[in-house]
Amino acid sequence: MTSKERVVRALSHREPDRVPVDFGGTAVTGMHVAIVSALRDRYGLEKRPVKIHEPYQMLGLIEDDLQRALGLDVEGVFAAETMFGNVNEAWKPWRLDSGLEVLVSGHLQIAHDANGDTLVYPRGDRSVAPSARMPKDGFFFDTIVRQDPIDEAKLDPEDNLEEFGPISDAHLDYFDKATAAAAATGRAVIATFGGLAFGDIALVPAPFLKHPKGIRDIEEWYISTLTRPAYVHRIFERQTEIALANLERLRARVGERVQAVFVCGTDFGTQQSTFCSVDTFRSLYAPYYRRVNGWIHAHTPWKTFKHSCGAVATLIPAVIEAGFDILNPVQCSAAGMDAAKLKAEYGADLVFWGGGVDTQKTLMFGTPEAVRAEVLRRVEIFGQGGGFVFNAVHNIQANVPVPNVIALFDALKDLRA
């Protein structure tokens, strides 16, 4: 099978010739730039600085030569602008604290404070406050919350809608070209169009806006889901209207080049439980997910991708009811997230995109032998009858031992032999 055929078959809950593999297709299935650079060296590829295409998490771009070396089946199309509001172009060099030489967007503006921390400015504007910080010798950025004191009498949902609006012709052109290029690789295409996630806590503080207004503090946002539900509903309602109009225009430009679309990265799980009750999910979030997913299913062949870390087993029936086809990252180490149980109970309804190896313990602290054993076991469980795209549980982080990463890919290679 071709990579595209392999993924399409798996997404249709039919067993392909082998389990399809994704690394780098989305912002939650990638690898830190340090790992990408190390893998390029390991496989003897051309020595050149790796591009950081997602600077918030410092994810490295996995280019075609490395994709082929790793046997990847998915090509990602990302939003037109990064989390810091920049376009990835006019690449320039940047030397990390570790000494690694990388490339970043020429529009990214970086500074260092007295502690040696790295600061980034929204849309490259150093006349405003920085929107993110990476500690000295750190591996990724944390958002700097920038919120004015809240005046209840002046709260306006429109302030939390500033980043949502009609898609521009320039962005339509971008997605037209990007999806065409992605489809030409022969891999399956997953697209992140943006504007579809409701209450994603990575996006609420808006590190891409110069002066974010409304409720932008993470703690205050979570409180607001209980104390200001009408306010949150008004945001989600208007966001949905905008999203559906944008999807109509996107569909007209990209058509069937896309096999899956990243709808939502809103996390609902902790290690032990969920951030909200099932009833709250169904009443506050699900109505809007259902409208977005329903439109996509009625008008396109795209499958819809839901990301949520943590112990979300109790929410899965509601996630399915809301119209999601795909669950990621499938954090099997969290409470109630046993791989075999998930596959038995929900494998007929959900595609598991992830769960291939535990990134918190096995990949980070295990031996190559332990990594190999876990990869083989997870493929055996999740791969039965299709409905599985292999990925780790979230992004592979910077300080993961490279021999463990090699063991992961060697195990997958042996399965293909």
* Each residue's pLDDT tens digit, 372-415: 999 999 999 999 999 999 999 999 999 999 999 999 999 999 99
Q: Is the omega angle on the peptide bond into residue 329 within 30 degrees of 0, that is, cis?
A: yes
Listing from the earlier edge strand, what are the strands of the sheet with 260-264? 74-77, 188-191, 260-264, 303-307, 326-328, 351-353, 388-389
Q: What is the mean pLDDT of the chain?
A: 97
pLDDT tens, residue by residue, 198-231: 999 999 999 999 999 999 999 999 999 999 999 9
In a domain, 48, yes or no: no
CA-CA distances (angstroms) from residue 161 to 107, 165, 206, 266? Answer: 25, 8, 11, 17
Structural contact between residues 333 and 356, judged by C-beta atoms closer than 8 angstroms: no
The CATH code of the domain that includes 285 is 3.20.20.210
Number of domains in the chain: 1
Report angle CA 287, 290, 294 to the nearest 5 degrees: 145
Query: What is the rounded average pLDDT of the residues 84-93?
Result: 97
Cβ neighbours of residue 74 under 8 Å, at least 6 residues apart? 3, 7, 20, 21, 22, 24, 25, 29, 187, 188, 189, 190, 389
User: Which amino acid is present at 62?
Assistant: I
Q: What is the pLDDT of residue 371?
A: 98
> pLDDT band for position 274 (50/70/90)?
very high
Q: What is the pLDDT of residue 226?
A: 95
In a domain, 200, yes or no: yes
Structural contact between residues 13 and 57, judged by C-beta atoms closer than 8 angstroms: no
Cβ neighbours of residue 318 under 8 Å, at least 6 residues apart? 278, 281, 282, 286
In a domain, 349, yes or no: yes
203 vs 180: CA distance, rounded Å: 28
Q: What is the pLDDT of residue 141?
A: 98
Structural contact between residues 206 and 212, judged by C-beta atoms closer than 8 angstroms: yes
With a cut of 90, say whether residue 417 has pLDDT above it. no
Q: What is the pLDDT of residue 416?
A: 86
- End-to-end CA distance of the chain: give it in Å, rounded: 14
Closest Cα to residue 322, out of 296, 348, 355? 296
Q: What is the pLDDT of residue 304?
A: 98
What are the residues facing 190 on neighbouring strands?
A: 76, 260
Question: What number of residues does the chain have?
Answer: 417
pLDDT tens, residue by residue, 142-183: 999 999 899 999 999 999 999 999 999 999 999 999 999 999
Q: Count of CB atoms within 10 A of residue 163's CB?
A: 15
Report angle CA 300, 305, 307 to the nearest 5 degrees: 160
Task: Express as a percent the part of the chain with pLDDT over 90.
Answer: 99
In a domain, 37, yes or no: no
Q: Is the dihedral of CA 403, 406, 412, 413 positive or negative?
A: negative
Query: What token pair was written down for 363?
Result: 């990949």
In a domain, 385, yes or no: yes
Burial of 235 (0-12, 13-18, 19+ CB in 10 A): buried
Q: What is the pLDDT of residue 54?
A: 98
Closest Cα to residue 339, out of 287, 375, 302, 295? 375
Containing domain of residue 17, as a range?
Answer: 3-30+70-83+149-416
Structural contact between residues 124 and 116, judged by C-beta atoms closer than 8 angstroms: no
Closest Cα to residue 101, out of 47, 180, 63, 175? 47
Instruction: Bin 52: left if φ > 0, else alpha if -120 < ψ < 50, else beta.
Output: beta
Query: What is the rounded average pLDDT of the residues 332-360?
Result: 98
CA 183 to chain centre: 20
With a cut of 90, say whether residue 102 has pLDDT above it. yes
CA-CA distances (angstroms) from residue 318 to 5, 48, 69, 137, 315? Answer: 29, 46, 39, 41, 5
In a domain, 123, yes or no: no
Structural contact between residues 87 and 98, judged by C-beta atoms closer than 8 angstroms: no
In a domain, 106, yes or no: no
In a domain, 104, yes or no: no
Q: What is the pLDDT of residue 239?
A: 98
CA-CA distances (angstroms) from residue 308 to 51, 103, 164, 197, 354? Answer: 26, 30, 22, 11, 11
Q: What is the pLDDT of residue 225?
A: 96
